[in-house]
């Protein structure tokens, strides 16, 4: 069959003439990309003696039909074609007129040229010239009509769409009326134009039945220059291609299917390239043959052709289809990939390759220097690209996450270190470290924050009371800074190549679960501080009372009741209590003056736990719903995008408003109001000498090594997750530069007595998600394409600057309830789990096999092996969680390194094929070199063993192949004389071996 792109028999690749021709056509060097084609199909309508062309369907990528009644377009759907119509189209191209690179500047001129060619070729008689021209020049009526009852979503668009009057645009009208320019401008306002790329061109398909023809009139035209042909097209797009099919009455349905077939072919990426580069009729036929080779047939008894297939969420790249025509990939018919089970639709996953950012240079600070050279050209764009409305949402979202984390961590750190470091130090340290890193770091999308293991390390360090805590901490920070700089200078970051998906997902899942558990734990804690009043009875409210009793009237029982209310560390100052009316005092005043509370209503607290839970879960659920609203069917696209981008801010404002309207005393965000150290007896600068023995300055290098391992692993794993290929980052990474600034900031923060900071995985992932970009112009039915991330430094800098000035925003921030911020934490933790294969594989344990999603790894790896791989990850995660929650958390950094060791050992449990689908194959540099050397030797031997051919080289253009309409089949090919290991390097010399029909 001429349509089969390649056949592999005993190791020899046989190339069909069609594939050989297309490879020659598409292989030409051409810097100009092929324009996107908008295709419109018009059918000839008869009203007595009157005729007109009426638009019946259109294609940008998917098909849209005019629904019955003519008031609206159908939903975009995948075109379903009959196989018979494709073969008939092939016959039409072979027998009809094909005019390539026709010089035409008006529709009448083009029509005259088409008719003249038909007459010259003897396809029609001269007496039919005027009749055919008359039909082809009838007016065109396009689908601009809108229904009388507009939806709310359409009312806002009425000013931007053409008016309902003057709906019928014809070639004669546009030529006759002087207001044609105004109408053209009017059509330019058509909202549908936003769905078509700016450089798009049009292909028009005209299908009709006439009574003066006894056989079909077929013409395929490609204009030398795309030309706007009046009102021929619905939108003001210049026409490049024209397909005409007129035929006798009685076969209208068949003509319509042929028209749909050519229209679908014209919007196919591969065939459109062929149509632009074709030099003769045979090239077009070869393009149809290649299309036929890739067509998938649905059995008629198992599928209803009336069903419209929804467009896929992701369309395969045209480059992958074109690569099938590449000589090096022939033999994989229909793009199949080898592997167990025959893998019918996918290639092997891309290997875990080492990027240029992590190449071992072998020079002193070689990697750091390359990072600087890589980032310098992007300095200006790093700031200019931040000026976008999406950045506002990202700044507010990450800012709230950062200040919540700073307050929470600062409070815990203050408790662990007796306020040597507290909330104020946490705020200033976050602002200082974050601003410097976003301004000078290699990957400004990373957000620095304090982490749980650092908190545990600080707590253990403070409990060694024999030496001064702040001075010891300073020397540990200096040693850790020096060790980080040594790692940077020696390009030690290159070991990240051994961090595969296994380690990434284990670490990121752990951090995500920490965020989720902390948010839930803090929320559950509110039930402890504000217990639910189980004994309160509304009917007995008249008996409830609480009295303030003076100290001299109280008995030991009353004093014990007061002691339970008053915190033990409060020392009551002497007050003049003479003449004080104790019965009129409030609860706080009674406790303040040393009185006692007596009564069964004294312990009453409103059910703040319930409203706190509503605020907590409401913020989370509303944020999730508004994020999904971006893909909703309601309201215009811009409105949905705006709501989706600002979903978190909208949720926070809504529930802050609800809390304010209720007026309940829910726990609020407390921010320090004065810039001074939390502990009064310490200053802002820590002196390095004088309080500890000299040997401490040297011995502190040992605990500093643990800190360095933690910093290195935490920072680099977070950077690997941020720099994943899925995020489509274009400005390169900066692993060495990032580690350099993290080390410098450790020394600075140690001198100032501020906490240490490192990349925060969950907040960094949230930062990436809040800056993702999608295509604005997409074909009807096509899902918006992910374009990448808005890479800039502005959002990070603004977040940390706002964190620093939050001290002065305390009057405003005090209205934000803490449960709302816990809801934000919960959302960040859950959102960071999205897209993690580990989490998807965990859910497979709870699903019967028939209900499991169609994941690619399930197609290629047995389910029991998938469960075993997941079980190993779960065990590793449980070990890390246990270590984090105990005193043994000091060795947490070493256990992260242990994940890489566990992954290496899994090479003994799983095959490389299974690991390629479930994880990444570890790089083996030495083996790869040996394999490449062996391959080169084999190639030399093969070339030396090949016999020289005495035949003259054949023309790269093989003769056309005709497929009979009645029978289709491949005869059995003879066994080639070459051995099975022979690989053909020049397919044209083996054209005579290809099967012919």
pLDDT tens-digit map of 383-401: 888 888 888 888 887 887 7
Say what the pLDDT of residue 9 is.
Answer: 43
Mean pLDDT confidence for 568-577:
46
Q: What is the pLDDT of residue 321?
A: 60
Which two three-digit tokens encode residue 820?
């709302």
* 917 or 328, which is more confident: 917
List the single range of 318-327, 329-338, 735-744 with lowest mean pLDDT: 329-338
pLDDT at 502 over 50: yes
pTM value is 0.64
Calculate the CA dihedral of residues 119, 124, 130, 134 and round it to 10 degrees. Answer: -120
- The β-bridge partners of 42 are 55, 206
**What does each C-alpha distance from 274 to 105, 267, 270, 335 come to in angstroms?**
23, 11, 7, 19
Q: With bands split at pLDDT 50, 70 and 90, how would you rate the model's confidence at 342? A: very low
Query: Which range (500-514, 571-585, 681-695, 780-794) has the least confidence?
Result: 571-585
Mean pLDDT taken over the chain: 75
Q: For residue 956, what pLDDT is reported?
A: 40
* Backbone torsion region of residue 342, taken as left when φ is above 0, otherwise alpha when ψ lies between -120 and 50, otherwise beta: left
Q: What is the pLDDT of residue 611?
A: 85
Q: Alpha carbon of 618 to those of 610, 656, 659, 823: distances in Å?
A: 12, 11, 12, 8
Contact 461, 476 (CB under 8 A): yes
9 φ/ψ angles, rounded to the nearest 5 degrees:
-125, 115
* CB neighbour list of residue 575: distance below 8 Å, 6 or more residues apart: 593, 594
Q: Is the pLDDT of residue 242 over 80?
A: yes
Choose the most confident range, by mean pLDDT, from 370-374, 433-437, 830-834: 433-437
Residues 807, 672: contact at Cβ < 8 Å?
Answer: yes
For residues 154-172, average pLDDT: 40
Q: What is the pLDDT of residue 207?
A: 94
Q: Count CB neighbours of 528 within 10 A.
A: 8
| The pLDDT of residue 161 | 39
**Tokens linked to 150:** 């507009």
Question: What is the per-residue pLDDT for 777?
Answer: 56
pLDDT of residue 222: 93
| Placement of tokens 């052709």 in the chain | 305
Q: C-alpha 828: how far from its chain's center?
A: 16
pLDDT on residue 323: 55
Domains of the chain: 17-143+199-313 (3.40.930.10), 366-528+626-835 (no CATH)
Which of 672, 588, 93, 592 minimizes the C-alpha distance to 414?
672
Query: How many degrees, rounded to 5, is the angle at CA 854 between CA 264 and CA 5?
Result: 40
The pLDDT tens digits of the residues spanning 15-37 come to 567 777 777 777 665 556 788 89
Q: CA–CA separation, 739 vs 715, rounded Å?
A: 7
pLDDT single digits (tens) 778-823: 666 566 677 778 888 888 889 888 888 887 777 777 787 888 888 8
Q: How far apart are CA 759 and CA 741, in angstroms?
A: 11
pLDDT digits (tens, 9 = 90+) for 957-969: 444 444 443 333 3
Confidence of residue 887 (pLDDT cuts 50, 70, 90): low
Mean pLDDT of 602-618: 81
- Specify the range with the lowest mean pLDDT, choosing from 460-464, 939-943, 945-949: 945-949
- Of 3-17, 450-464, 505-519, the poorest mean pLDDT is in 3-17
Q: Note the pLDDT of residue 90.
A: 92
Determine the Cα–Cα distance for residues 163 and 187; give it in Å rounded to an integer.
9
Quote the crossing angle between the two packed helices 389-416 and 637-645, to the nearest 10°.
20
Q: What is the pLDDT of residue 109?
A: 92
pLDDT for 187 equals: 47
Q: Give the pLDDT band (50/70/90) at residue 166.
A: very low
* Cβ proximity of 750 and 478 under 8 Å: yes
Report, as an integer, the average pLDDT of 426-441: 87
- The phi, psi pair for 913, rounded to 5°, reads -65, -45
Q: Which two tokens stand for residue 333?
A: 């018919």
Q: What region does 307 belong to: left with phi over 0, alpha with psi -120 to 50, or beta?
A: beta
Euclidean distance between the first and the last CA atom of the chain, given in angstroms as a whole number: 6
- Judged against a pLDDT cut of 70, whether residue 82 lies above it is answered with yes
How much of the chain, in percent, has pLDDT values that exceed 90? 9
How does pLDDT run across 639-675, given as a tens digit for each residue? 877 787 778 778 888 888 888 888 888 887 777 777 7
Provide the H-helix boundaries in 608-693: 608-628, 637-645, 647-662
391-409 exposure pattern, b = at least 16 Cβ within 10 A, e = fewer = bebbbbbbbbbbbbbbbbb
Query: What is the rounded distance in angstroms from the CA atom of residue 537 to the CA atom of residue 547?
Result: 20
- pLDDT for 174 beyond 80: no
Is the pLDDT at 561 greater than 70? The verdict is no
Average pLDDT over residues 86-107: 91
CA-based nearest residue to 98, from 113, 87, 77: 113
């Amino acid at each position: 069959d001429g349509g089969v792109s390649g056949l592999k028999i005993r190791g020899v690749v046989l190339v069909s003439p069609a594939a050989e021709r297309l490879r020659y056509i598409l292989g030409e060097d051409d810097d100009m990309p092929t324009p996107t084609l908008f295709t419109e199909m018009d059918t000839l309508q008869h009203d007595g003696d009157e005729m007109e062309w009426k638009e019946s369907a259109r294609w940008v990528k998917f098909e849209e039909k005019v629904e019955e009644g003519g008031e609206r377009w159908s939903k975009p759907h995948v075109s379903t074609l009959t196989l018979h119509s494709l073969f008939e189209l092939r016959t039409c191209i072979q027998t009809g007129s094909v005019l390539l690179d026709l010089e035409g500047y008006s529709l009448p001129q083009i029509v005259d040229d088409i008719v003249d060619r038909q007459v010259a070729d003897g396809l029609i008689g001269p007496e039919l010239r005027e009749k055919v021209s008359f039909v082809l020049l009838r007016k065109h009526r396009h689908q601009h009509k809108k229904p009388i009852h507009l939806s709310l979503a359409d009312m806002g668009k009425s000013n931007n769409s053409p008016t309902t009057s003057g709906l019928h645009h014809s070639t004669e009208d546009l030529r006759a009326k002087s207001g044609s320019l105004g109408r053209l401008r009017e059509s330019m306002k058509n909202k549908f134009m936003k769905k078509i790329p700016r450089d798009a061109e049009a292909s028009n398909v005209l299908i009709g039945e006439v009574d003066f023809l006894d056989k079909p009139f077929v013409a395929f035209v490609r204009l030398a220059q795309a030309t706007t042909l009046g009102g021929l097209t619905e939108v003001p797009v210049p026409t490049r291609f024209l397909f005409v099919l007129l035929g006798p009455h009685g076969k209208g349905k068949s003509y319509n299917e042929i028209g749909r077939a050519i229209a679908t072919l014209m919007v196919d990426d591969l065939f459109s390239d062929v149509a632009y580069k074709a030099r003769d009729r045979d090239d077009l036929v070869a393009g149809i043959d290649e299309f036929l080779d890739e067509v998938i047939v649905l059995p008629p008894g198992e599928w209803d052709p009336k069903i419209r297939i929804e467009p896929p969420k992701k369309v395969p790249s045209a480059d992958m289809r074109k690569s099938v025509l590449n000589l090096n990939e022939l033999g994989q018919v229909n793009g199949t990939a080898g592997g167990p089970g025959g893998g019918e639709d996918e290639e092997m996953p891309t290997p875990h390759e080492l990027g240029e950012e992590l190449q071992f240079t072998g020079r002193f600070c070689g990697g750091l220097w390359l990072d600087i050279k890589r980032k310098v050209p992007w300095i200006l764009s790093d700031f200019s690209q931040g000026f976008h409305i999406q950045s506002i949402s990202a700044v507010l979202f990450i800012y709230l996450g950062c200040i919540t984390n700073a307050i929470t961590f600062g409070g815990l750190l203050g408790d662990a270190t007796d306020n040597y470091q507290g909330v104020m130090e946490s705020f200033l340290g976050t602002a200082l470290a974050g601003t410097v890193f976003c301004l000078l770091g290699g990957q400004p999308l990373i957000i620095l924050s304090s982490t749980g293991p650092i908190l545990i390390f600080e707590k253990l360090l403070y409990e060694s009371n024999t030496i001064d805590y702040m001075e010891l901490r300073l020397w540990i920070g200096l040693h850790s800074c020096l060790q980080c700089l040594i790692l940077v200078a020696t390009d030690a970051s290159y070991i990240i190549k051994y961090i595969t998906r296994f380690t990434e997902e284990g670490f990121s899942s752990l951090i995500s679960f920490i965020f989720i558990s902390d948010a839930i734990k803090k929320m559950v804690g509110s039930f402890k501080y504000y217990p639910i009043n189980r004994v309160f009875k509304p009917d007995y409210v008249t008996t409830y009372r609480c009295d303030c009793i003076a100290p001299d009237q109280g008995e030991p029982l009353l004093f014990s009741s007061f002691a339970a209310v008053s915190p033990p560390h409060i020392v009551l100052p002497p007050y003049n209590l003479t003449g004080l009316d104790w019965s009129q005092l409030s609860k706080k005043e009674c406790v303040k003056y040393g009185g006692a509370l007596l009564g069964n209503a004294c312990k009453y607290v409103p059910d703040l736990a319930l409203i706190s839970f509503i605020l907590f879960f409401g913020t989370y659920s509303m944020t999730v719903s508004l994020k999904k609203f971006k893909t909703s069917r309601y309201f215009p696209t811009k409105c949905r995008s705006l709501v989706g981008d600002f979903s978190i801010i909208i949720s926070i404002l809504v529930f802050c408003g609800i809390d304010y309207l209720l007026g309940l005393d829910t726990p609020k965000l407390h921010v320090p109001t004065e810039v001074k150290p939390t502990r009064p007896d310490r200053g802002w600068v820590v002196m390095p000498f004088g309080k500890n023995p000299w040997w401490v300055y040297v011995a502190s290098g040992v605990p500093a090594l643990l800190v360095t391992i933690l910093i290195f692993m935490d920072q680099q794993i977070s950077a690997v997750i941020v720099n994943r290929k899925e995020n489509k980052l274009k400005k390169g990474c900066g692993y060495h530069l990032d580690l350099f600034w993290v080390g410098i900031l450790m020394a600075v923060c140690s001198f100032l007595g501020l906490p240490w900071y490192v990349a925060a995985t969950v907040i960094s992932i949230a930062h990436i998600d809040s800056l993702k970009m999608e295509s604005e112009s997409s074909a009807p039915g096509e899902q918006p394409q992910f374009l990448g991330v808005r890479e800039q430094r502005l959002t990070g800098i603004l977040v940390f600057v706002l964190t620093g000035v939050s001290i002065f925003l305390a009057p405003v921030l005090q209205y934000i309830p803490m449960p709302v911020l816990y809801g934000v934490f919960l959302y960040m933790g859950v959102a960071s789990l999205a897209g993690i294969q580990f989490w998807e594989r965990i859910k497979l344990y709870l699903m019967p096999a028939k209900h499991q999603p169609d994941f690619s790894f399930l197609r290629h790896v047995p389910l029991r092996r998938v469960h075993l791989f997941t079980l190993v990850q779960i065990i590793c995660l449980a070990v890390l969680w246990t270590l984090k929650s105990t005193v043994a958390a000091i060795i947490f950094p070493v256990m992260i390194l242990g994940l890489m060791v566990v992954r290496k050992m899994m090479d003994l449990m799983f095959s490389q094929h299974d690991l390629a689908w479930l994880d990444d194959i570890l790089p083996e540099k030495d083996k790869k070199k040996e394999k490449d050397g062996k391959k080169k030797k084999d190639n030399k031997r093969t070339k030396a063993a090949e016999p020289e051919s005495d035949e003259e080289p054949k023309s790269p253009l093989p003769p056309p192949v005709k497929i009979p309409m009645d029978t289709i089949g491949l005869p059995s090919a003879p066994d080639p004389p070459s051995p099975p290991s022979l690989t053909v390097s020049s397919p044209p010399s083996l054209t005579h071996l290809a099967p012919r029909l």
